[in-house]
Amino acid sequence: MENTTKALELKLILDHLRPINQEQEARIMQKFRLDWNYHSNHLEGNTLTYGETKALILFGITAQGKPLKDHFEITGHNEAINWVIDVVKGDYPLTENFIRELHTLLLKESYEVDAITPDGKPTKKRIKVGSYKTSANHVKTKTGEIFYFATPEETPAKMYDLLVWYKEKVKENLNPILLAAEFHYKFIRIHPFDDGNGRTARILMNFILMKFGYPPIIIKTQDKDNYFSVLQLADAGNIEAFLEYIAQNLVRSLEIMIAGANGEDIEEEDDLDKEIALLEQRLKSVDRKSENKIENLSISLLELIDSFYKTQSKFKKLYKTSDFSVYLNDQIFEFDRNKIFNFLSDCLSNENIYLEIYLSYNFSLFFEWPKNDINYNVVLDIEFEANSYTVTVNQEVVLVNEKFHSLDKGNINEIMFKINSAHKDFIEQKIAEKESN
């Protein structure tokens, strides 16, 4: 295990250099995070280039002609990484709930994909986020054989066993490199989710490594064949090859982090190509500024709709019934991100914009009170005029945006704070009235 030994030696050198200058560490982690986002998604078929990925994460620039789903994969993956980087600083345990929460951040929301039935007929398959698989996800190998993962019925027990195994190995002080690599492999063998298993496995592996003070491992897309080859060797009983492969990649990450800690250049051979790709992407964005403006506005409006739905849905547990509705130009829409985004983009692309977004969430009857007629309705309305749009909440204007600028996170957070505060105040008022009677 030559690379494992080398990684342990480099870890000792890194520990002697700690604490690392805060600015230097931020620069190192940004490199890791951008590489991690690009390579892990590209391994699974995402079409965004490195330059497009970096432009999206750092500047919010979307790639022309690339699927919306690919953009959501990158932003969801980046959100999951940021969450892991944050929680790894504390004493956050690795549990099944943690894994399901990570999967939810990664994929964001449920969606449908094309699938084949056992008898070979085309069908649709619902991918649920944060939930274990409900149908088999075995794969056909190059030789035509079927490689079997855990069945849906077996999955909960196998995931429980995996976490028990992990806790036991931590107590036994197993080498963290071997622990992280073997956890990755065992997770992949279960394949607990309908989608996103590879990306989730790599994030969990890096979470374990970072808990023990190691930098994250980046499996590069150009090394895809080697990565899958050692996974197949592990399937055939030679897990040592996979463990050594992971250690080899960890050596590279440690060398980068040590160089950065010493104030040295952390660019790799292909980093200049990446920077040129980013510049190319930004040059393209200048030429399509108007188109980008529409796309960015559509995305930000979609994020507002998404935030409204998600935050208000948290109140559902307090009520017996609830109902969420989306109206676009008086047409009722299913809560389907792609359909809503396309409709918004089409409307905003017209020279004479006509668009009104009307969101309504109705709640009825408190769960805990046997007899009550409590009702609460929150309405978010966005209406476009000649050169501006107005956001109102229950008929109160909360934002007027000139020249069709997109909403930033501050705008969205401020709007959601007003909505959530009003809802909490309503519930507290009803409780106070009940207590005073």
DSSP string of 138-165? -EE-TTSPEEP---TTTHHHHHHHHHHH
8 Å CB contact between 94 and 169: no
277 pLDDT exceeds 80?
Answer: no
- Residues 294-305 have a mean pLDDT of 89
**378, β-bridge pairs:** 361
Strands 375-384 and 396-402: unpaired
Tell me the pTM: 0.64
Q: Which residue has the higher pLDDT, 185 or 126?
A: 185
**Helix ranges restricted to H, 236-288:** 239-261, 271-287
**Burial call 369-404: b when 16+ CB within 10 Å, e when fewer:** eeeeebebebebbbebeeeebebebeeeebbebeee
Locate the domains of the chain by residue range: 2-273, 289-436
Helix or strand run (H / E) with residue 410: helix 409-436
Q: Categorize the per-residue pLDDT at 392 as very low, low, confident or very high, splitting at 50, 70 and 90.
A: very high
Instruction: Give the per-residue pLDDT at 138.
Output: 76
Q: Categorize the per-residue pLDDT at 272 as very low, low, confident or very high, splitting at 50, 70 and 90.
A: low
Instruction: Give the per-residue pLDDT at 291.
Output: 62
The CATH fold of domain 2-273: Fic-like fold (1.10.3290)
Residue 362: φ, ψ to 5°? -105, 135
Instruction: Give the per-residue pLDDT at 321.
Output: 93
Q: What is the pLDDT of residues 64-116, one digit of tens each?
A: 888 888 999 999 999 999 999 999 988 889 999 999 999 999 998 888 777 66
Burial of 223 from C-beta contacts in 10 A (0-12 / 13-18 / 19+):
middle
